[in-house]
Amino acid sequence: MNWVVKGLNWPPERVSLSPLTARLLSARGIAPEEVEAFLHPTLEQLHSPFLLPQMEQAVERILHAIQRKEHILVYGDYDVDGVSSTALLVRGLERLGGQVTAYIPDRFEEGYGLHRSGVDFAKEIGATLIVTVDCGVTAHEEVAYARTLGLDVVITDHHLPKNVLPEAIAVVNPRVNGTYPFPELAGVGVTYKLLEALHERTGISRKRLLWDLDLVALGTIGDVVPLMGENRVLVHYGLKVLAHTRKAGLKALKEVAKVRGSRLHPWHVSFILAPRLNAAGRLTHARHALELLTTRNGKRALQIAEQLHAENQRRQQLERRILEEAVQMIEAGDLEKSWVLVVAREGWHEGVVGIVASRLVERYERPALVIALQNGEGKGSGRSVESFHLFKALLEAEELLESFGGHRMAAGVRIRSDRLEALRERLNTYAREHHELEDLLPEVHLDLVLEDPSWLNDPRLPEEMAKLEPFGSGHPHPALLIPDVRILQVSHPSRRRITLIGSWRGLQLVLESRARGRRWERELQAGQRVDVAVKMKTAQFPPYRFDLLDIRPRSGFQGLSPG
């Protein structure tokens, strides 16, 4: 891995904080005048929803539908952001007096986005207005088709638009026009802003929406958008609401998943709640997850939560089996020539290949594409590293693919099985022509070098660390480089964990890694002097405990580059 240390954007002495916290905020680009608001998020920091493009038109059309008792179809998506957005808008519109039906597309039959079958369903049930959430910004043909059937469409989305927008009544998207102050909202964040605007226009207090911030936190964290700006505010309060949720479905999900306590963190969503909600869309149908988030029946909620828990366990089993088979295929080949990994097999489940691709990137430190084959056709997902633009690489192989889409770090493809070898060769040729092999190594982004032991002993640090939460995408736990650590002890307390006891300038460190199989693990021994890259999970010291990100022999920071 390449280690990249960020530079400071302003002198840490400009703020009255502990040295470590001040340096962290400076390295992350939080201006001195923004520090107070960052450490103390409030709902007043949210922007007016009417700053979003075409919000006025959206609000006018939806209120018109509510007043005239028109039937509204809320069209969502099958991931946790889409399901949370759908549940949020359905509940919100019903409270405002709307007649609402929800529609979630089938991942396997329809795929992502607004689909003609959903438009047909709207017509069949007598709806006159479709409101999309977390999708629709590129659905030109589907919106045109809806118009031929006499249906109006309001689009709310957060994905990148094309140069021309669909001819909808309104397209509410923070990425359109480049005028909204915070373009990084998740789909559920845009949905929340729409409900804010509807409440403001009708004169109803927006305080009624606060108990729905649990859904906003769920979708925002689950969609891995940066926890900065408005997202930080929404998740800060949303986690508080989630800890004391009034929703039968979320109560049941927390009970089944054994999530307890009055203080929740983003990882409770990322690794416990969201995977169970996503499992429905991956293996069967996301309508089960939607029903969980909208039901008011506690008994029914518990039944669905247990079903989702079982589906998540099956998803984990499928993932493990496919990963094992993919590893066998990769290691039976020539790994040195495989700069981009492409693996495919009959019988793999297309709903989990994206997760397997992520595991392969972690294991082999290079881009990976995993494809499920059935009847001569493959459906796959790819994951990449920061330096390799996966979407551009796929553009070079466009004529080999039936369809594809994505961005720098992730993509989805459809391909005929007889073109797999040609795709593998094309992607690897592209990688060799545009990169050195070292360029494809993942990067460990470090906030700062820990220069002084006293930074860890500052009495202000524990309270400041608590105020830096919530940590997540775009604002992860502090990542530090600790130089010249002497290893005192190496132990393997479990099959999947390694623990190092080390000494650094008089401080004893406990370094733990839960990702066994790293290339350096077999070389560690007591007495070595090493540089370590660590994640700081808590400031309750001593003892000084860190998660180990990477380690290398003490060698003058070779391979270290400034940010």
Q: Write the CATH number for 556.
A: 2.40.50.460
Beta bridge pairs of residue 103? 75
User: 189 and 119 in one domain?
Assistant: yes
User: 361 and 286 in one domain?
Assistant: no
User: 62 and 166 in one domain?
Assistant: yes
Q: For residue range 182-195, what is the model confidence (pLDDT) as tens digits?
A: 999 999 999 999 99
Q: Domain count of the chain?
A: 3
Q: Is residue 264 predicted with pLDDT exceeding 80?
A: yes
Show which of 395, 428, 443 is a domain's final residue: 443
Write down the mean pLDDT value for the chain. 92
For residues 404 and 219, the model is more confident at 219
Q: Would residue 298 count as lying in a domain? A: yes
Q: Give the pLDDT of residue 516.
A: 53
Question: Poorest-confidence range of 30-39, 244-253, 383-392?
Answer: 383-392
Show which of 443, 463, 484 is a domain's final residue: 443
Q: Would residue 164 count as lying in a domain? A: yes
User: 178 and 87 in one domain?
Assistant: yes
User: 219 and 290 in one domain?
Assistant: yes
User: 404 and 286 in one domain?
Assistant: no
Q: Give the pLDDT of residue 519.
A: 62
Q: Would residue 41 count as lying in a domain? A: no
Query: 436: domain CATH number?
Result: 3.10.310.30
Residue 562: pLDDT band with limits 50, 70, 90: very low
Q: For residue range 428-441, what is the model confidence (pLDDT) as tens digits?
A: 999 999 988 777 77
Distance of alpha carbon 90 from alpha carbon 298, whole angstroms: 19
Q: Is residue 563 predicted with pLDDT exceeding 90?
A: no
Q: Give the pLDDT of residue 515.
A: 61
Residue 555: pLDDT band with limits 50, 70, 90: low
User: 342 and 244 in one domain?
Assistant: no
Q: Give the pLDDT of residue 505.
A: 93
What range does the domain containing 413 cover? 333-443
State mean pLDDT over 377-396.
91
What one-character DSSP code corresponds to residue 6? P
User: 107 and 81 in one domain?
Assistant: yes
Q: For residue range 462-511, what is the model confidence (pLDDT) as tens digits?
A: 999 999 999 999 999 999 999 999 999 998 887 678 899 999 999 999 99
What percent of the chain is predicted at pLDDT more than 90? Answer: 79
Q: Would residue 11 count as lying in a domain? A: no
Q: Would residue 544 count as lying in a domain? A: yes
Q: Is residue 543 predicted with pLDDT exceeding 90?
A: no
Q: Is residue 201 predicted with pLDDT exceeding 80?
A: yes
Q: Give the pLDDT of residue 355.
A: 93
Question: Poorest-confidence range of 322-336, 365-379, 399-413?
Answer: 399-413
Q: For residue range 31-90, what is the model confidence (pLDDT) as tens digits?
A: 999 999 999 999 999 999 999 999 999 999 999 999 999 999 999 999 999 999 999 999
User: 467 and 411 in one domain?
Assistant: no
Sheet containing strand 71-75, edge to edge, reads: 99-103, 71-75, 129-132, 152-156, 170-172
State mean pLDDT over 146-161.
95
Q: Which stretch of DSSP H or E encloses residue 308?
A: helix 298-332
- CA dist 156 → 74, 78, 152, 265, 539 (Å): 10, 16, 13, 28, 40
Q: Would residue 71 count as lying in a domain? A: yes
Q: Would residue 33 count as lying in a domain? A: no
Q: Quick one: tokens of 20? A: 């470590």
Residue 556: pLDDT band with limits 50, 70, 90: very low
User: 547 and 488 in one domain?
Assistant: yes
User: 496 and 401 in one domain?
Assistant: no
Show which of 403, 423, 443 is a domain's final residue: 443
User: 251 and 355 in one domain?
Assistant: no
Q: Would residue 20 count as lying in a domain? A: no
Distance of alpha carbon 12 from alpha carbon 563, whole angstroms: 17
Q: Which stretch of DSSP H or E encloses residue 485?
A: strand 479-494
DSSP letters of 83-145? HHHHHHHHHHHHHTT-EEEEE---TTTT-SS--HHHHHHHHHTT--EEEESS--TT-HHHHHH
Contact 52, 172 (CB under 8 A): yes
Q: Give the pLDDT of residue 557.
A: 42
157 CB burial (10 A radius; 0-12, 13-18, 19+): buried
Q: For residue range 287-300, what is the model confidence (pLDDT) as tens digits?
A: 999 999 999 999 99
